Amino acid sequence: MMIEVRVPTPLRGFTGGKESVQANGTTVGDVLGDLSTQFPGLRKHLFTEEGVLRSFVTVFLNDEDIRQLSKQDTAVKHGDVVSIIPSIAGGKPGAVAFPAMSQLSGGKTGTAPPPKRLTQEQMFRYSRHLILPDVGLSGQQKLLNSKVLIVGAGGLGSPLALYLAAAGVGTIGLVDFDIVDASNLQRQILYSKQDVGRPKLEAAEDRIRGLNPDVKVIRHEERLTSQNALEIIRNYDVVVDGTDNFPTRYLVNDACVFLKIPNVYGSIYRFDGQVSVFDTRTGPCYRCLYQEPPPPGLVPSCAEGGVLGVLPGIVGTLQANETIKLLLGKGEPLIGRLVLIDALSLRFRELKIRKNPECVLCGPKATQKELIDYEQFCGMTPDLSADDDMTVEELKSRLDRGETPFLLDVREPQEYEVVKLPNSKLIPVGLLPERLGELPAAADIVVYCKSGGRSAQARSFLLGMGFKRVRNLAGGITAWAQKIDPSLPRY
């Protein structure tokens, strides 16, 4: 019977340019034989001189590899489609030495060192890797020669840096410009009590060196920006996203897409975590998943929304796991899959994510060809009305003068329990729309939250709703506790 055969591009020169031809037979082998008779030029590309199907020629019957069926004896029936699909292999000659080219490469500096042998000490240190079939000596050398950039040395960056350093990833770059704060210690296990007040990267480098002197730490003590991102990122094999804000997350994604470097993504919020690997060579990017950032203020940062301390440990170690797999080229990377973690119910869910053909960054009709202003993209460009923010000093002097503005606290009840301003009214930002009636229409309103983010959001909302005399307390209750009343607890 006649069966449709799909011919791959490289062989169409032998079928008169046809993508699909008909061939006769009752088994796949017969069909391929008839095909070679009709188009004799094909035979030697499909079969060896001994008549065996070449190893790099894959044949499918409908959507199954015939090696999983009865190979060439697989029976065909009317309506079946046989497809020939190329796999590609090659390599240099066996053990023949290269003619002394190195002598001729004068003038070139910075020659990469050949892979170093492991020392006795390293053999011992990495012994549990060396006996793993998927790592072994060559895998360990690969790790030692690898360069990974961790963006953010906080909750996610801590377990990442520690596990990657322990695994012997040879170069770890860290981007962060923050100072260790006591409130970090609940989850940022890179740091100890005595590090409070030190620059994070200084403390991190000490810790990593103490753990594994094989690791070279590169400190990028600066904010990642559209101006420096490509220069920084291009030096690394894999980038791990441990950021806590949307502008940097989009920036990291876009830079990785342009440089074709895999981006191991993780994010956390309260009890929820997400992990995926974005590599646009074979899968989607962050923009395919989230085309646009949420409106500012809708998703609070960990500082504002809180986070279970162990959650970044779970998510960060999953990211470390994916990073090591990518570096080794082993296993099934989390490309095209998004893992959602709910720490409260401890359930892991996996969603398939696909490349978005409309993606402005990595789709076929991509329109964005360079990095943009990510603060603006995420709607975070400070608007002019911020000039109208009230400082804590101004609020203090107004209160001292006997003024009684309506103090509106837009945090969550559990935060209000920790610390609050006297005579303030609590209406969490999410409940504002339904509780507008509780606000005075004519009085001055001063809105505050922990550090000024949610209250700025609340203020714009209130102005939009027709309230005229609303001001935002810059720096929130944290600034109040720092500058006005140090006896108040900070969190």
Strand ranges for 212-294 from DSSP E:
216-220, 238-241, 263-269, 272-278
Which residues on adjacent β-strands are paired with residue 53? 47
Least separation in angstroms between residue 17's CB and another protein is: 4
Does the active-site annotation cover 378? no
Spatial neighbors of 454 by CB under 8 A, at least 6 apart, are: 297, 300, 304, 410, 411, 429
Nearer to another protein, 107 or 413 (CB): 107
In degrees and rounded to multiples of 5, residue 447 shows phi and psi of -100, 135
Least separation in angstroms between residue 75's CB and another protein is: 22
Which 74-103 positions form the footprint of another protein (CB under 8 A)? Answer: 85-94, 96-102
Per CB under 8 A, does 105 bind another protein?
A: yes
Per CB under 8 A, does 13 bind another protein?
A: yes
Per CB under 8 A, does 41 bind another protein?
A: yes
- Among residues 34, 237, 389, 394, which is the contact residue for another protein, using CB under 8 A? 237
Structure token digits, residue 237: 């094999």
Per CB under 8 A, does 210 bind another protein?
A: no
Per CB under 8 A, does 384 bind another protein?
A: no
Nearer to another protein, 153 or 334 (CB): 334
- Among residues 40, 210, 364, 413, which is the contact residue for another protein, using CB under 8 A? 364
The 238-277 site mask, x for binding another protein (CB under 8 A), equals ----------------------x-----------------
- Tell me the HSE value of 480 on the side-chain side, using a 13 A CA sphere: 24
Does the active-site annotation cover 449? yes
Per CB under 8 A, does 355 bind another protein?
A: yes
Q: Which helix (H) or strand (E) holds 5?
A: strand 2-6
Nearer to another protein, 103 or 414 (CB): 103
Nearer to another protein, 92 or 347 (CB): 92
Nearer to another protein, 55 or 345 (CB): 55
The dihedral sign for the CA sequence 350, 351, 352, 358: negative
Per CB under 8 A, does 40 bind another protein?
A: no
Least Cα distance to 205 among 176, 227, 231, 234 occurs for 176
Least Cα distance to 274 among 238, 322, 229 occurs for 322
Least Cα distance to 201 among 129, 151, 133 occurs for 151
Residue type, 175: V
Segment lying near another protein (by CB under 8 A), choices 54-62, 184-192, 264-272, 483-491: 54-62
Which residues on adjacent β-strands are paired with residue 175? 151, 220
Least separation in angstroms between residue 82's CB and another protein is: 14
Which residues on adjacent β-strands are paired with residue 199? 179
Query: Are the beta carbons of 455 and 415 closer than 8 angstroms?
Result: no
Per CB under 8 A, does 425 bind another protein?
A: no
Which 322-341 positions form the footprint of another protein (CB under 8 A)? Answer: 329
Per CB under 8 A, does 295 bind another protein?
A: no
Query: What span, in angstroms and rounded, lies between the C-alpha atoms of 53 and 61?
Result: 15
In angstroms, what is the C-alpha Rg of the chain?
30
- Tell me the HSE value of 74 on the side-chain side, using a 13 A CA sphere: 20
Nearer to another protein, 15 or 451 (CB): 15
Given the rule CB under 8 A, which residues bind another protein?
Answer: 8-14, 16-17, 41, 44-45, 54-56, 58, 85-94, 96-102, 104-105, 107-108, 111-115, 138, 237, 260, 281-282, 329, 355, 357, 363-365
Positions marked active-site = 302, 449
